[in-house]
Each structure stands twice: as structure tokens, then as C-alpha cells.
Chains A and B, each alone.
Chain A
């Protein structure tokens, strides 16, 4: 198992609400990437944080936002939840020595979000 942890494990929200998901990166890692995995699909890249700054974003609307803290942990915030936001949200941590670089990413267990 990796040292990447996520909380909470499961979450149920209603449409229009806001949610915050948390990720603690593996010791020694400085980069966190967030992915959305719909049922039966591969993970889709949301965004990545490197040295507390957003370092790339996938095809997700601005209501998906994030933060990275000095200890390299990270948050994913989703506003105005929609039914289609129901998915497994995965974070992955990695160590980047230089930027740009393609790092080996290790996933956390995910947060299962259900929007009713």
C-alpha cells in the first residue's frame, strides 16, 4: 500500500451543495494530482498541484478548485454539485525534482462521492 491517504471515504451530498475532499501525500512527495473516476471508466485528470500552485488542469469547469498546503497535502473543492459529479475522486502523489517532469504517481484509496 502507498502512504497516500484520503478523507472522507464516502460522502453523500445533494445537488447544489459544496464539498471538500482531502488528500495527504506520501512522505517525501511534493506534487498532488486529482482525478475523477466514473463507474466503469478510467480516471480523468482534474488538476495538479506542485509547490502550492496549480500546475495544469484538465477539462473540468471552474467550480472544481483546489489547494495545496506547505506540508504538500491538498484539498479538492467542488461547488454547485451536479448529479454527474457522482464518482470516485482519487488523488495521486509524486515527487518532482525538476519542472517540467513526468513523475511516478501513487494513488490514494479515493473518496466515493454520491450526489442525490
Chain B
């Protein structure tokens, strides 16, 4: 079944700097890769996602890149702000994974991002 590794587990940056979080996945059949932001005590919030027919996607200060050959994808946050502080989760999904179902998500263990003012 699918396995998703996420690094680093914690990341501390100064306000205005960039932050990069990396994930690798094991199932080459995976075709959908969302990123969620979870603030303390709140729900995971979808911030950006990418499908396997695209190599890069950008939304304002947030971008995601996907390397299907190497089976890894990354989240890039530019011009970080204190309100970006949260735990970020990557996930992978796709046909044929995890119990034969489609559409379920396999999550990484999360990265705690701290942005210092």
C-alpha cells in the first residue's frame, strides 16, 4: 500500500523568508497530492493540491511541485507571515492503493512550521 514520508518534522523561519516542506510517496499509481494546513484545535484546511498530469501549481505565496519520476512533491511558501504558523500535512491518493479503494488519502506525519516575527 501507499506510504508517505514527510520532512522536516519541524521548521522554524523568520518572517519574510521562504519555507519548503518535502514529501515522498511509494505507490507510483498515486495521482492526486493535496496539502492541508491545520492550526491548533482546528480542522485540516486544504491550501493547495496537484494532480499527476501537472508538474507545478501556484496560488499567490504558495506553490507545489511534483516529480513523478522520483515520486516526491514539495510545498513552497514564500514571504512567510506569522499567520502561516501551523502544522502542514501532505497526502497522496490514487487508484489501487490502500485496501483497493480509490479516493482515500494517505497522510504524512506533518511539519510544524513556526514563523518568527
Specify which of B44, B95, B98 is in contact with A45 (CB 8 Å cutoff).
B98
Instruction: Name the segment of A12-20, A63-71, A72-80, A99-107 touching the other chain.
Output: A99-107
In whole Å, how far is A57's beta carbon from the nearest beta carbon of chain B?
5
Contact partners of B6 in chain A: CB under 8 A:
42
In whole Å, how far is B31's beta carbon from the nearest beta carbon of chain A?
6
Contact B107 A44 (CB under 8 A): yes
Contact B107 A108 (CB under 8 A): no
Summarize A's interface: helix, strand, loop or mixed. loop
Q: How large is the interface on A (under 10, 10 to 19, 20 to 34, 35 or more residues)?
A: 20 to 34
Given A43-B107, A90-B44, A48-B94 contact (CB < 8 Å): no
- The answer to whether the Cβ of A2 comes within 8 Å of any Cβ in the partner chain is yes
- The answer to whether the Cβ of B89 comes within 8 Å of any Cβ in the partner chain is yes
> In whole angstroms, how far apart are the Cα atoms of A4 and B42 in the complex?
13
Contact partners of A102 in chain B: CB under 8 A:
31-32, 51, 93-95, 102-103
Extra pairs beyond A45-B98, A58-B98 (9, CB < 8 Å)? A42-B89, A42-B107, A56-B100, A56-B104, A94-B103, A96-B103, A105-B46, A106-B46, A107-B36
A residues near B (Cβ < 8 Å) are 2, 4, 31, 33, 35, 40-45, 48, 50, 55-59, 90, 92, 94, 96, 99-110
Contact A104 B44 (CB under 8 A): no
Contact A48 B103 (CB under 8 A): yes
In whole Å, how far is A23's beta carbon from the nearest beta carbon of chain B?
12
- Chain B, range 19-50, C-beta contacts under 8 Å to A: 31-32, 34, 36, 42-46, 49
Given A43-B107, A45-B105, A102-B94, A56-B99 contact (CB < 8 Å): yes
Contact B110 A33 (CB under 8 A): no
Specify which of A2, A31, A106, A107 is in contact with B103 (CB 8 Å cutoff).
A31
- The answer to whether the Cβ of B101 comes within 8 Å of any Cβ in the partner chain is yes
> In whole angstroms, how far apart are the Cα atoms of A110 and B6 in the complex?
23
List 11 A-B pairs, Cβ < 8 Å.
Answer: A33-B104, A35-B105, A40-B110, A43-B105, A48-B103, A55-B102, A57-B101, A99-B102, A105-B46, A106-B46, A109-B42
